[in-house]
Amino acid sequence: MTGQQTTQIGYSVVCPHYRIGREDNVIFVYLCGTWEGLISKRFIRDFEKIRKPLEHSHWAVIYHTKDWIVGTPEFQTLILALAKDNLRLGQAASAKIITPNALKAYQYEMLSKQINMSINEARFIEEEDAFHWLVSQGFAISLRAFPALTPVDDISPNLD
């Protein structure tokens, strides 16, 4: 990539609690609201569809959690299983954009302790720093920003 080009992601999956997209070998996830089991199950289903072409290769995920609040114990169990699958299927790096919040930090620590993190992982407050870090890890991405989103936390997910 040359110059300071700013590109925004076109999401493949858009629902009230998350957006998922992909550029080359990087999956972009924007999380919103409070999560429970049904939302988590739908997210996992959608994430696995986006992840499928990357399995058993070198890939990364960038999570933006500015508008995410917290998850239930069922969320933790389901997301933990997804994280372990991701490691088994070749995930090499994880960048997390986390706003300072004691409850979020606690939940991240609880999940991280239960996962054998054999990947490069970094947490950031600034979105730009997370994108730069992914590039420094060898992921050639042109994206430099998540689009602005309005979180919606009062719509029940449809699990069709």
- Extents of the domains making up the chain: 7-144
Both tokens of residue 142?
A: 């042109």
Q: How far apart are CA 27 and CA 57, in angstroms?
A: 13
CATH architecture of 7-144: 2-Layer Sandwich (3.30)
CA angle 6, 144, 107 (to 5 degrees): 155
Taking the model in full, what pTM does it have? 0.81
pLDDT per position as a tens digit, 80-90: 999 999 999 99
Q: Are 12 and 50 in contact (CB under 8 A)?
A: yes
pLDDT at 6 over 60: no
pLDDT at 20 over 60: yes
Mean pLDDT of 92-116: 79
**pLDDT band of 117, cuts 50, 70, 90:** low
